[in-house]
Structure formats: structure tokens, C-alpha cells
Amino acid sequence: MLAKPSIKRSANTGIADEPSELRMTRQRREVYRVLLAQRDHPTAYDVFMRVKDGLPHISLATVYNCLEALVEHDLVRQVNFDREPSRYCPNLEEHGHFHDRDTGVIHDVKFKPGIKLADVLDLPHGAVIQDVEINLRGQLSLA
Amino acid sequence: MLAKPSIKRSANTGIADEPSELRMTRQRREVYRVLLAQRDHPTAYDVFMRVKDGLPHISLATVYNCLEALVEHDLVRQVNFDREPSRYCPNLEEHGHFHDRDTGVIHDVKFKPGIKLADVLDLPHGAVIQDVEINLRGQLSLA
DNA sequence: CCGATAGCAAGAACTATTCTAAATTCACGC
DNA sequence: GCGTGAATTTAGAATAGTTCTTGCTATCGG
Ligand SMILES: [Mn+2]
Ligand SMILES: [Mn+2]
Ligand SMILES: [Zn+2]
Ligand SMILES: [Zn+2]
């Protein structure tokens, strides 16, 4: 995924401020820690369950808020397969996802070295790409 | 998107039947006609509104049913950007989608000739890909 | 410490989609 | 052209992941 600038405008002036720092609260730190600890592309609810070990009073809404904050500050990527619950991935390298229909496991899929998207796709003239999502589905043949 | 075999198994035997034909009802035909007539990746609700011109009594649930049937029989592709409402595309060539943030327009994006996904992606060993989804977001620079 | 801003928790609300149940249409053998 | 069973349609209810609202708490700069 390419970087997305997270601009905020002050309510008073309407002038663009610096992109604000992410305040690392206990909840956000724990959500992020959980994502790094087990990189299996958990859903928000999965994260909620895992975070409760360390923060038993955290709410699901807070998990959603934390995930949104982490995504907006480009520490975490949101991964959507069709209309299933969103999943979250702390791998910041440009990569796609392969969903194994048999096991449900989602594998990270890297580009082969030296490949750029503009090399393989016939983009509209003047297109500036800000975000790339590559989602594959299939099976892992056991042969 | 790669072809997805739509196998049905008879309830009695559990033996695989032929993939059943899509029965072209008035509703399905009209939904399909609307998709072909204006290829702007409409949502189910967009389709509903357009189909009502020809079939004023059609229900939204039927539009969903028809779209699902068309997708399952590989006449139409479902296109999902993040968690926005699904959109529908009758272009059966293998292609991705570019969402222009400024205009909201979704453009079809073809692969450059001769490119295969396995050539550019580092797939897991033994992966058999059944479905490919490539979604881009960005802007069209006017320069 | 003070006032302001940001974040959290709990539950309600939202909304795209799916499900339910009853009515209608259809395919097909006679 | 019927009768019959299966498929489809319809309207409305239900579902479920996510977002919003509200009141409270934590944090920050001074
Ligand atoms: Mn898809
Ligand atoms: Mn995305
Ligand atoms: Zn990933
Ligand atoms: Zn398309």
C-alpha cells in the first residue's frame, strides 16, 4: 500500500495542519502489540478477544477506534475480502493477500523483486495511485 | 477473474451434477440488460432504480437475488471497494478496478498483454488461484 | 493545579445484505 | 392445455459488522 497523508485541519482556521502524531495510549499500544504478536490477519473481534487478556475492561468500540487510528497513521493495513469482516495486518511492505479456501488462512503475497504495478496494468492516462489492494482466493494443492 | 465452477450436488446422492443453467426470468434478464446498458459499476440499489423503469413492481430483494444468480453463473462480477456497497460489472475480461477519488468513477483496468499474475507475484507453493481481485484508488491528474 | 483537547466505554443506531414465509411463475410430463 | 413440484419473486423482518452518541476519564501544555 502506498502512503496516504493524514491531514487534519484546525477547526478555527481551516488551514492544513501537520499530520498529527498518533498518541500511543494503553489501548492503542495493546491493540498494536496484539497485531504484531500473531500475524494471522485477525478481525476486529479477534483482536478484541486477544486484547482483553491485557486490558479486561476494553470495549469493542475502542478496538474499532484503535484499529482505525492505526490504519490512518499507516501502522496497520485493513484487509477486505468481499464483504467479510475486515481483517488487520501490520505488514507494511507492499503486498497482496491469498485466502486459502480450505483452511481459511490468509497468506501475505509479495511482488517478485523489481515489479511495479504500472508495468503490468494498463492504467488510465494520468492516474496517480494512492492505494493498491490485491486479493486472491484459491487453494493450496497438497500434491 | 478466473472461472469458478458452480457445482451443485443433488440432495439424494451427493454426486456432483452438471452446473445448472441459469433460468432467464424477466427479472434476471432486465437486471442483466441494465448492467450491460450502463457500465458504470452500479450498486444493487442503483440497479434497482434503473430496473424499475421496465419492471415497476420488482423488489430490492429480487435485485439482490438476480445479481447473486448472475454472479454465480459468471455473467457478472461483484466489485468490492473496502466496505462500501458492492458494485456490479458485466465485463468478463480479466481486469482490475481504479476508483477515482475525485469523481467517484470506477475505471476498468486491463492487464498489459502477456502478463500473468503468477509471473509478478510470489505465490505460496502449490497455490491454485480461483479468483483475482485488484482494486486501486487514486486520482487522475489533470496536467 | 487549570482548562482544553483527546480518548474511552457502553449501548443505541445504522445500513447493506440476507432471511422468512407466502404467493406466483415456470418446466415438464401427460 | 392441465396437474404437479420446484424455482422464483415479493414484502417485510432479521442480521451483523461497523459507526455514532453521550457522559466520563486521561492527558497535555502552561
Ligand atoms: Mn470478489
Ligand atoms: Mn483498502
Ligand atoms: Zn498482510
Ligand atoms: Zn469492471
Query: What is the average pLDDT value for chain B, to the nearest integer?
Result: 88
The answer on pLDDT for B106 being more than 50 is yes
Class of residue A110 by CB neighbours under 10 A (exposed 0-12, middle 13-18, buried 19+): middle
Three-state SS for B66-135 is HHHHHHHCCCCEEECCCCCCCEEECCCCCEEEEEECCCCCEEEEEECCCCCHHHHEECCCCEEEEEEEEE
B26 touches chain A (CB under 8 A): no
A96-143 pLDDT tens trace: 999 999 999 999 999 998 888 888 999 999 999 999 999 999 999 886
- Residue B120 CA to ligand 4 centre (angstroms): 21
Helix A26-37 to helix A44-51 angle (10° resolution) is 110
Q: Which nucleotide is nearest to A59 (CA to C1')?
A: C9
Lowest mean pLDDT, pick from A20-29, A101-110, B17-26, B134-143: B17-26
B66, amino acid identity: C
Residue from B18, B35, B83 nearest A71 by CA: B83
Strand D contact at CB of residue A121, distance < 7 A: no
- Residue B13 CA to ligand 1 centre (angstroms): 30
Select A26-88's CATH number: 2.130.10.10, 1.10.10.10, 3.90.1150.200, 1.20.1530.20: 1.10.10.10
Question: pTM for this one?
Answer: 0.88
Instruction: Please report, for chain B, the start and end positions of each structural domain, with discontinuous segments joined by +.
Output: 26-88, 94-138
Question: Which of A80, A100, A110 is facing B80, going by the closest CB pair?
Answer: A80
